[in-house]
Chains A and B, each alone.
Chain A
Amino acid sequence: MNPVSLSQLQFAVTTVYHFFFVPLTLGLSVLVAIMETLYVRTGSEVYKRMVKFWGKLFIINFAMGVVTGIVQEFQFGMNWADYSRFVGDIFGAPLAIEALLAFFLESTFLGIWIFGWEKLSKKAHLAAIWLVAIGSNLSALWILIANSFMQSPVGFTVENGRAVMNDFGALVFNPYVWLQFPHTVLSGFTTAAFFVMGISVYHLLRRKEEGVFSRSFRLASIFGAVSILLVIFVGHSQAQRMVQVQPMKMAAAEALWESADPAPFSLFSAIDQAGGRNVVDIRIPRVLSLLSYNRLDGEVRGILDLQAEYEAKYGPGYYVPSVFMAYWTFRVMVGAGFLMFFLAAYALYWVMRKRPLGEVKFLGVFGLAMALPYLANTAGWLLTEMGRQPWVVYGYMKTADAVSPTLTAGMVLTSLIGFTLVYAVLMAADVYLLAKYAKAGPAPEVKKQHPVKEEAYWE
């Protein structure tokens, strides 16, 4: 093992782990904000209890996202110093803006929201959770602006071996961002919707707290159905963009070795990467062209052609990512996505019929379905990042050239093992707490307490 592959592994471990928590934060912040809006509008206690219940789970999850996010910001410099030197001029800006615009907003107002129930007016408290939701989703925007630069670099020139920003507008309005951002945020909304539906079903099946949980389920089913539908539409546009800007990633995701017009869609391919072919290859004619161009023909370039083209363009080297990973992560993501779409439609169908949810068949399946968004989110990022290899900045810098020159394998191994162990302990604690509070259900209604007399230091 060398510092490059160890650092890659560490980046993968810490990023995938971080992204276990982020999507739920993105969506649940909005759902809790909607619930609190309903509470403030109607004054109905049941909504307040919903806010408190889901808010507690939100906070437990949020903490994990925050602390693992610090690692993300630091490790560009720690492990990828030459990358940071190469792109810092353009990549550092969105990261700094993310901290200034988004992190301050979400952290400060989350503190206000958690501790401010008795200290703020209802409306001010409601504003706090909306600012948390806006802050979280803004942070997704800026980090995806940074990531999109790696996928589809724009707004810069290369001077003296460094990428130098010359168009901030181009960076922010990179067309890649404006597909990746809605896709990610809506996936987060979907994650939260399935989270809420799954936990609600647990209680509905036990006929407990039906007021809280049937309302939660209804709200989440609408939120989820709209979100997943949009995720699929945006995902389709993303795939079409990928054919244009990262044809190699698309070819790998389809295990398409030879260019084809019209191009067939793979149903099942057993991949032999070393041999540059598929041992088994079952395909549906024309469907990949249809997906790529919305018509029944059109060339989709194959891995071997692209490899030859890149060798001519960038010099000798192997420009093919792991086809196995690209192919299967693509299928897991899309498969889980469609499964979620059907489940959300099924839930919405019953919600629309206004029947008591306890009578719905197969309600228990929503408990299992909580895993689907996590599967899809993880697979999606693995596809995005591993499918870009060997590049760290597509077409400009290879991952192997990005690592910190002073790193030793021992150093990375130390931190990799350290992070992995700590993350394992925290995952156990987090899942324990989430399960505990999810099963316990909402806290009983409390009678209004006497206001506590407190004084400031100078009073």
Chain B
Amino acid sequence: MDLNTLWFILIAVLYIGYFVLEGFDFGVGILMPFLAKDDRRRRMIINTIGPHWDGNEVWLLTAGGATFAAFPGWYASLFSGFYLPLFLILIALIFRGVAFEFRSKDENPRWRSFWDWAIFAGSLVPALLWGVAFANFVRGVPIDAAQNYVGGFWNLLNPFALLGGLVSLLGFILHGAIFLTLKTEGELADKARKAAWRVWPFSLAVLVAYTAAAYFATDILTKLGINPGPVPIGAVLALAAAGWFIRQKMDGWAFVMTAITVVFSMATIFMSLFPRVMVSSLGADLSLTVYNTASSPYTLTVMSIVALIFVPVVLIYQGWSYWVFRKRVTTKTELEY
């Protein structure tokens, strides 16, 4: 395996980690206004992700930084090409992050409802747009010989990509609802489970539809074959199983299943891309690949050493932080947010 492939895998892992972790906190943010009408319960919901959302978001920053370092051509084309969607994601993430911190620091109900909206919209917009973006990677977008994206904003909102957006949106809502069943108790946990049960069929339906559509909209058929193998099938099966576990109130297993769904469906996208990183719709030889966008072998070597040392360290202490805050948030918990 060459270093380009290693870095492709590493960046895939960073994005997957980001979606597994921030995925549920997006879901929690979207569900918050629906699951709780009173202030106390809203605060409890926000406090379930309070210690974690910021650390989760760093997975995105690291994925972005790693893309810049390892594949500057990919970073440049993607970020300049998807300029307006990224701008919307940034605005959403800005409002959302500040909202967590600011919301409960003032009693005024209008202040709180403003930031509640910010948490809701700031979670919804990226949850939708990330799915749109990744669907476009595999579907292909107009990229010219200079590696520049030459389509417009509306190009990105094609039906296949919008379906991808629905997949990520509903998937994250489901993932977040199940997370809430694990981190709250009593009536609130029941409401979250009920929400999960209601969202689940839609989430499964769009994932199946998206997978089917992928056979027409992308070259997944030639890449992965008519039988796409265990990873994509596993994604769909895990999501199907999640429903069963929700019904049985086996919330822990349900959460494992939605996490597997996120991991496997993202892995499918990266597998069908490789060795490309963005497919060009203007010609197969114009696609961006791990070779025509990469940094020098020297840089990749340096970065590999850094990553090998520090990624495990990060995993250990971030894992520890989840252990520290493993308890459910109850009505008696002292709330920081």
Contacts known (A103-B61, A112-B324); A405 close to B55, Cβ less than 8 A = no
Q: Are A60 and B101 in contact (CB-based, < 8 A)?
A: yes
Stretch in B127-135, B220-228, B303-311 touching the partner: B303-311
> Does B302 contact A93, Cβ atoms closer than 8 Å?
yes
A70 and B93: CB pair below 8 A? yes
Name A residues whose Cβ lies closer than 8 Å to a Cβ of B: 59-60, 62-64, 66-71, 73-74, 76-79, 81-82, 84-85, 87-93, 95-101, 103-105, 107-112, 114-116, 118-120, 164-166, 168, 404-407, 411, 414-415, 418-419, 422, 426, 429-430, 433, 436-437, 449, 452-458
Number of contacts between A and B (CB, 8 Å)?
A: 248
A68, B98: Cα distance in complex, Å: 10
Query: A67-B97, A74-B86 given as contacts; is B61 within 8 A of A455 (CB)?
Result: no
Smallest CB gap from A142: residue in B: B65
Which residues of chain A are near B173, meaning CB under 8 Å? none
Cα A76 to Cα B78 in complex, Å, equals 11
Distance of A153 from chain B, by nearest CB (Å) = 15
Instruction: Check if B72 sits within 8 Å of A66, measured CB to CB.
Output: no
Q: How far, in angstroms, from A111 to B21 measured CA to CA in the complex?
A: 15
Chain B: minimal CB distance from A214 (Å): 26
Q: How far is the CA of A62 from the CA of B326 in the complex (A)?
A: 25
Q: Which residue of A lies closest to B96 (CB)?
A: A67
Say yes or no for B272: interface residue by CB 8 A criterion: no
Q: Tell whether B287 is near chain A: CB-to-CB under 8 Å.
A: no
- A457, B252: Cβ atoms closer than 8 Å: yes
Interface of A is mostly: helix
Question: CB-nearest residue of chain B relative to A114?
Answer: B336
User: In the assembled complex, which residues on chain A have CB atoms less than 8 Å from the CB atom of B65?
Assistant: 73, 92, 95-100
Q: Please determine whether A89 and B296 come into contact, CB atoms closer than 8 angstroms.
A: yes
How far, in angstroms, from A77 to B303 measured CA to CA in the complex?
A: 19
Partner of A110 from B54, B87, B329 at Cβ < 8 Å: B54
CA of A103 to CA of B55 in the docked complex: distance in angstroms?
Answer: 8
User: 1/0 contact trace for B313-330 toward A, CB 8 Å?
Assistant: 010011001001111111
Is A107 a contact of B54 with CB atoms below 8 Å?
yes
CB-CB under 8 A for A456 and B327, given A84-B75, A88-B69, A433-B105: yes
State whether the Cβ of B110 lies closer than 8 Å to any Cβ in chain A.
no
Shortest Cβ gap from B75 to chain A (Å)? 5
B-chain residues with CB within 8 Å of residue A433 when the two chains form the complex: 102, 105-106
> A67-B94, A82-B76, A414-B84 given as contacts; is B149 within 8 A of A406 (CB)?
yes
Q: How many angstroms between the C-alpha atoms of A93 and B57 in the bound complex?
A: 19
Whether A88 lies near B76 (C-beta < 8 A) is yes
Interchain CB contact under 8 A, A112 and B98 = no
**Is A89 a contact of B75 with CB atoms below 8 Å?**
no
Give the residues in chain B near A455, CB-CB below 8 Å: 185, 327-328
Cβ proximity bits B51-64 to A, threshold 8 Å, 1 near / 0 not: 11111011011101
Inter-chain CA distance A116–B52, complex, in Å, is 12
Interface hub of A89, A100, A118, A165 (most chain B Cβ within 10 A): A100
CA distance A111 to B52 in the complex (A): 6
Q: In the bound complex, do residue A406 and residue B325 qualify as a contact, i.e. CB atoms below 8 Å apart?
A: no
How many residues does chain B have at the interface if contact means C-beta atoms less than 8 Å apart?
79
CB of B2 closer than 8 Å to a CB of A: no
B150 is an interface residue with CB less than 8 A from chain A: yes
CB–CB A422/B58 < 8 A? no
B299 partner, pick from A79, A90, A454, beta carbons under 8 A: A90
Contacts A99-B66, A404-B80, A406-B80 known; list 7 others, CB within 8 Å.
A77-B68, A100-B314, A108-B55, A406-B150, A414-B87, A452-B330, A455-B327
Please give me the residue from chain A that is nearest to B183 by CB atom: A457
Closest to A404 in B: B80
Expressed in whole angstroms, the minimum distance between the Cβ of B317 and any Cβ of chain A is 6
Which residues of chain A have C-beta atoms less than 8 A from B47's C-beta?
115
Contact between A92 and B72 (Cβ–Cβ < 8 Å)?
Answer: yes
Can you give 30 A-B contacts (C-beta < 8 A)?
Answer: A63-B98, A68-B94, A79-B80, A81-B79, A84-B79, A85-B147, A92-B68, A93-B69, A104-B55, A104-B58, A104-B317, A108-B318, A109-B317, A109-B321, A111-B51, A111-B52, A114-B50, A115-B325, A116-B51, A165-B302, A404-B76, A405-B80, A405-B146, A415-B83, A418-B91, A430-B102, A452-B332, A455-B328, A457-B182, A458-B252
Measured CB to CB, the closest approach of chain A to B174, in angstroms, equals 17
Determine if B298 and A165 form an interchain contact, defined as CB atoms under 8 angstroms apart: yes
Q: Quick one: closest A residue to B87, CB to CB? A: A415
CB distance from B282 to the nearest CB of A (A): 14
CB distance from B249 to the nearest CB of A (A): 12
Residue of A whose beta carbon sits closest to that of B294:
A89
Give the shortest distance, in Å, between A292 (CB) and chain B (any CB).
36
Which A residues are CB-close (under 8 A) to B69? 88, 92-93, 95-97
Contacts of A73 in B (CB 8 A): 61, 64-65, 68
Asked if B73 lies at the interface with its beta carbon under 8 angstroms from chain A, I say: yes
Q: How far is the CA of A294 from the CA of B67 in the complex (A)?
A: 45
**A422 touching B87 by the CB < 8 A rule?**
no
Across the interface, B90 reaches (CB within 8 A) one of A74, A105, A118, A456, namely A74
Asked whether B70 is an interface residue with its Cβ less than 8 Å from the other chain, the reply is yes
**Contacts of A164 on B, CB cut-off 8 Å?**
296, 298-299
Are B55 and A111 interface neighbours, CB within 8 A?
Answer: yes
Judge whether A104 and B94 touch: CB under 8 Å.
no
Which chain A residues border B80 with CB–CB below 8 Å? 77-79, 81, 404-407
Tell whether, in the assembled complex, residue B51 and residue A112 are in contact, meaning their CB atoms are under 8 Å apart. Answer: yes
| Contact A115 to B66, CB < 8 A, known contacts A63-B101, A406-B150 | no
B295 at the interface (CB under 8 A from A): yes
Q: Which B276-297 residues sit within 8 Å CB-CB of chain A? A: 295-296
* Closest-CB distance, B44 to chain A (whole angstroms): 12
Give the CA-CA distance A419 to B92 in the complex, in Å: 11
The residues of B that contact A66 with a CB separation of less than 8 Å are 54, 97
Q: Flag if B58 contacts A107 (CB, 8 Å).
A: yes
Instruction: Kindly list chain B residues whose C-beta atoms are within 8 Å of the C-beta of A76.
Output: 68, 75, 79
Least Cβ distance of A19 to chain B in Å? Answer: 16
Question: Would you call B72 and A88 a contact (CB within 8 A)?
Answer: yes
Q: Is B171 an interface residue (CB 8 A)?
A: no
Which of A88, A90, A91 makes the CB contact (< 8 A) with B73? A88
User: If the complex has contacts A63-B97, A67-B94, A112-B324, are A84 and B61 also in contact, measured as CB distance less than 8 A?
Assistant: no
Residues from chain A with a CB closer than 8 A to the CB of B274 are none
Tell me which residues across on chain B come within 8 A of A114, comparing CB atoms: 50-51, 336
- CB-based nearest A residue for B75: A77
CB <8 Å contact, A168 and B93: no
Evaluate contact between B101 and A59: CB separation under 8 angstroms: yes
B98 pairs with A457, CB closer than 8 A: no
